[in-house]
Structure 1
């Protein structure tokens, strides 16, 4: 049963059970036991759920089925998210506030608080927004503070690895379109910073392109068999050091000389040192520039 009250659609428990796949008896049990999802009641005692209630139920079920956590753990997390949402709404939350809070927590190794704040961000924003508008500025600040002696090597490594671990599950959970070309993503030899490369790989995979993510310090001589075996059409390379340029350019020239129909994209702070002929492969900028670049690649 569905009714409308004060402009809002309300759903009876039978309809909610149909929409969510959660039995009516379980919905009643969750309400009584956890007191997190609380439907309104009619004068006769019938339960009526809002659209937000239904979204919460689906979210709980997903946490239980896909992440393997208990219903109690999922309910506790949902309660924390809702409480933090209210607090953020009152204080006028913005990207900058989240950046500062997460960075402060991680600088002090307060992983539980950082995790709660990041979970709140995921509940408020699309995950690409979180990664590009919150994680990326944090990483830039970490690099700057480390270079200027304000963060230790241990803090820099800890923060970068912590954020990278939050990105990887999204990459692995996305499904690629088998009809679209494949890509391979790698850091140049001796290059260890791969978060930007991971974000670009996630960007491609979200749009259906399967990405073989090789990551840190990949020897270029080992790539040719992989490229041929997987019919790779796009090679994504991250460069942060000028010293890597020569080897990367030689690798690209060798591939092109073999007549392969492969496209290249090169990013990272070191890409500005590419020779003039190779500058056409350089991609810089933010998420919007990435979208424009992808739209210009008809074969992708």
Structure 2
């Protein structure tokens, strides 16, 4: 049987979401806001996508991972020859620093409406990896300010609320991914990072199950198989629980595990062959079960 792609095939939106990792809500938003692609419509109004659309989406994702905002993608792909796409993708995004500064000012002055508009832009224009870098830049600048406690609290609650809205729409889908990854955050890890990682799991085709640090890792692993978890992912952004998770992950070496942490992980040997340690820049590399 031939494995050749049928160039004339048309795919429903959920199949396109599976093939590309872009959820249906995002696909519709890109179509509506940026006229990124124009799917075929059935008589009943359902969207159908061609192989050309899917190829375009894959190019879009590659460029977004390099930091090109979604608002520029169509022009970049349509105007540039194929061999120049990679060169354009490697160029720095000129407006990210301006966006960071505008957000920092809005947060510092507790300007709710301004911040909401800027977050609209951030969440629409950036994929998760570039967005993570922007969020980290803002976080760092706010941490360096004097009297930062109130602005930081305002910032964390605003970003968390926005991420929760997006996650709610994903968790409310009629059918969730069958493979489940339990996510636990270590102490002193900002909750919005857990939400970002949960979004990433959805993009990768997995169902995230979020836990705070009220349950111990030993309890999580004890319940992993009875509750049909395929993997455990720990977020230890401040390296506060290294000794503990090293011991537990070694004890449950047969379970697929990840630790997302700081650069301190560079000098640590994984406790098992099924454990992958990821420094900050590697957090959103593809997951594989």
Q: Shorter chain as normaliser: what TM range? A: 0.5 to 0.7
Equivalent residue number for residue 158 of structure 1: 154
Separation in 1 of the partners of 2:119 and 2:202?
22
Quickly say closer, same or farther: Cα 1:271–1:180, change in 2 above 3 A: farther
Could you list the per-position Cα deviations for residues 109-128 of structure 1 after superposition, in whole angstroms to 9, with x for gaps in the alignment?
A: 111111122223344x1453
Q: Measure the CA separation in 2 of the matches of 1:192 and 1:201.
A: 14
Structure 2 vs 1, CA of residues 107 and 169 (structure 1 numbering), >3 Å: closer, same or farther? Answer: same
* Partners of 1:94 and 1:198 in 2: CA distance: 25
- Cα displacement (A) at 1:167: 1.3
Q: Structure 1 residue 244: deviation in Å?
A: 1.3
- 2:166 corresponding residue in structure 1: 170
1:134 aligns to 2:131 (yes or no):
no
Aligned twin of 1:278:
271
Q: Secondary structure at the match of 2:230?
A: strand
Comparing 168-177 with 153-162, which one deviates more in the overlay?
168-177
Q: Are residues 130 and 179 of structure 1, via their aligned partners in 2, closer, same or farther at CA, if it must alter by over 3 Å?
A: closer
Match of 2:259 among 242, 259, 266: 266
Cα–Cα, structure 1 residues 132 and 105, in superposed 2: closer, same or farther, change >3 Å? same
Per-residue deviation, 1:251: 1.5
State the Cα deviation string for residues 193-227 of structure 1 (Å, max 9, x = none).
23333212211112220000113454223213431
Contact preservation (8 Å) 2:177, 2:207: no
Shift of 1:252: 0.9
2-side partners of 1:95 and 1:111: how far apart?
20
Alpha-carbon contact 1:184-1:236 (below 8 Å) kept: yes
- Name which of 220, 239, 244 aligns with 1:247: 244
Q: Aligned equivalents of 1:152 and 1:269: distance in 2?
A: 22
TM-score after normalising by structure 1? 0.56
Q: SS of the counterpart of 2:114?
A: helix
Residue segments in structure 2 that go unaligned for 5+ positions in a row: 1-30, 36-70, 72-92
Tell me the TM-score normalised to structure 2 length.
0.58
Correspondent of 2:182 among 184, 192, 195:
184
The superposition leaves residues 218-237 of structure 1 with CA deviations (integer Å, 9 ceiling, x where unpaired) of: 42232134312322122111
Q: Distance in 2 between matches of 1:184 and 1:216?
A: 12
- SS for the counterpart of 2:205 is coil
- Work out which of the two has the higher radius of gyration on C-alpha atoms and give 1 or 2: 1
Q: Is the 8 A contact 1:265 1:283 kept in 2?
A: yes
Q: 1:230 corresponds to which residue? A: 227
Q: Indicate the larger mover: 192-201 or 205-214.
A: 192-201
Give the secondary structure class of the aligned counterpart of 2:183. strand
CA contact (8 A) 1:193 1:216 kept: no
Residue 113 in 1 paired to residue 109 in 2? no
Distance 2:229 2:33 in 1: 45
| More contact order relative to length (CA 8 Å, sep ≥ 6) | 2
Unaligned runs of 5+ residues in structure 1 are 1-50, 56-84, 86-91
